[in-house]
């Protein structure tokens, strides 16, 4: 339904993204996209590159008079750093010239070595330029369109940092699984206030000190983020096939973020350690039977006590908050490099150090929001369909009305009209 492709190297001219399947009539502004691009660039622990870039899109196609027109939406994010790399990254530069800054000492944990072998490249720069997390800027731009679409249906997509460098700040210390309904809405209004995107800002100095120490040591740090999505209707995704299960689609999308090594939904791994009685969320009525379903009708009249399921049962949304967590390994570029082998000589060496970030965990949350939004917008289009936003809305409204009607008619003999 909704698909996208990106192109671009980290130090090339820029990044391009083409998003196909956005219904016509969706109001879009460059400002809305740029806002997310700006959020992705933030976070304590980013390197000097983020002082060079000022990520902003140029519309290339698919938007007219502030609205989508149903054709593919294409956006360009120019790389300001291109000015410093033009010769090295020139598509048709003289071979000797453009091979300056070659990378022959692959970094453990990076795509350098495997990519160089697989693609038969002598210079691992041909690999790292595309493997660079710079590409995620293009995904965030695509995700911003999905976010705008979801917002039309009252869906809030936010994220926050759960742990960084081994310091865990979430869930709060009392050990109870948090009530996601009571978190600030929009969630990002709270997390974006913090230089490390936490919800408990009292812990920020401790995290910042850990990042600064890692930088001084020439080391890098990983961490975990949580994406929280509220306002989704019950029934996105499906139980009927492995590739239609929404949890699988979301987990796959989040696992595609560079350096992400783990994804959890709701209670995640902890659910595997508990008996069923302490895992599954009891079902309760959201309203008196026979009465119109209490708002929001998007849940069909039912609620869960607790949300260990993280908003998904049987590969479908329950209507409760969607809670996804992803864990990122530390960045592979260490200023105190690890052992490697030189690709030119086969001899032992120290891995190449390139300018990089100490940590990108706060940015990872923004990227995870974008990918979650893209999967969810796709699932909305799959369930409700529509070439225009109006058609999508009519189909959505009819579904929600039918959920309300189903609740209202509960207990009535078939065919009766109470």
At residue 305, the 3 state secondary structure works out as coil
47 is an interface residue for ligand EPS by CB under 6 A: yes
133 is an interface residue for ligand EPS by CB under 6 A: yes
Report which of 269, 324, 287 is spatially closest to residue 403, judged by C-alpha positions. Answer: 287
* Shortest distance in whole angstroms from residue 356 CB to ligand EPS: 4
* Shortest distance in whole angstroms from residue 22 CB to ligand EPS: 24
Cα–Cα separations (whole angstroms), residue 404 to 23, 114, 150, 298, 375: 26, 54, 21, 8, 26
Q: Which residue has the tokens 């989704």?
A: 232
Report which of 132, 134, 28, 42 is spatially closest to residue 79, judged by C-alpha positions. Answer: 134
80 is an interface residue for ligand EPS by CB under 6 A: no
C-alpha 226: how far from chain center: 10
Q: What are phi and psi of 112, to 5 degrees?
A: -45, -60
Smaller CB distance to ligand EPS: residue 38 or 296?
38
Tokens of 43: 């976070």
CA distance 200 to 187: 12
Smaller CB distance to ligand EPS: residue 54 or 345?
54
68, 104, 132, 194: residue in contact with ligand EPS (rule CB under 6 A): 132
Which residue blocks in 42-91 are alpha helix, DSSP H?
49-52, 82-89
* Shortest distance in whole angstroms from residue 367 CB to ligand EPS: 9
103 is an interface residue for ligand EPS by CB under 6 A: no
8, 22, 26, 49: residue in contact with ligand EPS (rule CB under 6 A): 49
* Shortest distance in whole angstroms from residue 50 CB to ligand EPS: 6
Smaller CB distance to ligand EPS: residue 169 or 257?
257
286 is an interface residue for ligand EPS by CB under 6 A: no
Residues sharing a CB contact under 8 Å with residue 409, sequence separation 6 or more, in sequence order: 416, 418
Report which of 188, 186, 254 is spatially closest to residue 38, judged by C-alpha positions. Answer: 188
350-369: which residues touch ligand EPS (CB under 6 A)?
A: 354-357
6, 10, 194, 359: residue in contact with ligand EPS (rule CB under 6 A): 10
Q: What radius of gyration do the chain's Cα atoms show?
A: 23
Q: Which stretch binds ligand EPS (CB under 6 A): 131-139, 189-197, 199-207, 292-300?
A: 131-139
Number of residues that bind ligand EPS (CB under 6 A): 15
313-352: which residues touch ligand EPS (CB under 6 A)?
A: 333
* Shortest distance in whole angstroms from residue 202 CB to ligand EPS: 28
At residue 123, the 3 state secondary structure works out as coil
User: What does the binding site for ligand EPS look like in residue numbers (CB under 6 A)?
Assistant: 10, 47, 49-50, 53, 81, 132-134, 137, 333, 354-357
């Amino acid at each position: 339904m909704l698909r996208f492709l990106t192109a671009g190297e980290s130090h090339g001219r820029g990044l391009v993204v083409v998003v196909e399947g956005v219904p016509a009539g969706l109001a879009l502004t460059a400002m809305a996209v740029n806002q997310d691009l700006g959020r992705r660039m933030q976070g304590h622990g980013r390197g000097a590159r983020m002082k060079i870039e000022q990520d902003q899109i140029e519309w290339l196609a698919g938007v007219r008079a502030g609205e989508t027109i149903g054709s593919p939406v294409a956006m360009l994010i120019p790389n300001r750093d291109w000015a410093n790399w033009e010769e090295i990254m020139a598509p048709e530069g003289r071979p000797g010239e453009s091979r300056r800054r070659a990378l022959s000492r692959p970094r453990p944990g990076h795509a350098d070595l495997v990519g160089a072998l697989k693609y038969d490249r002598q210079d691992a720069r041909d690999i790292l330029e595309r493997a660079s997390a710079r590409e995620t800027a293009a995904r965030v731009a695509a995700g911003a369109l999905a976010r705008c679409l979801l917002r039309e249906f009252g869906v809030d997509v936010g994220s926050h940092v759960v742990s960084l460098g081994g310091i865990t700040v979430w869930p709060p210390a009392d050990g109870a699984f948090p009530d996601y309904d009571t978190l600030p809405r929009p969630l990002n209004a709270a997390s974006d206030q913090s230089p490390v995107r936490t919800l408990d800002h009292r812990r920020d100095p401790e995290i910042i000190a850990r990042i600064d120490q890692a930088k001084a040591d020439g080391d890098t740090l990983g961490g975990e983020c949580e994406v929280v999505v509220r306002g989704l209707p019950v029934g996105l995704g499906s139980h009927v096939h492995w590739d239609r299960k929404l949890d699988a689609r979301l987990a796959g999308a989040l696992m595609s973020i560079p350096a992400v090594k783990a994804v959890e939904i709701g209670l995640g791994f902890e659910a595997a350690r508990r008996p069923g009685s302490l895992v599954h969320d009891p079902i309760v009525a959201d309203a008196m039977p026979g009465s119109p379903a209490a708002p929001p009708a998007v849940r069909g009249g039912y609620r869960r006590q607790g949300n260990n399921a993280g908003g998904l049962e049987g590969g479908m949304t329950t209507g409760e908050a969607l809670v996804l967590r992803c864990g990122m390994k530390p960045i592979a570029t260490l200023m105190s490099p690890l052992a490697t082998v030189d690709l030119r000589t086969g001899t032992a060496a120290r891995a190449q150090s390139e300018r990089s970030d100490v940590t990108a965990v706060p940015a990872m949350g923004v990227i995870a929001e974008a990918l979650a939004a893209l999967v969810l917008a796709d699932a909305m289009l799959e369930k409700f369909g529509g070439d225009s936003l109006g058609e999508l809305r009519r189909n959505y409204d009819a579904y929600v009305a039918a959920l309300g009607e189903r609740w209202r008619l509960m207990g009535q003999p078939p065919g009766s009209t109470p």
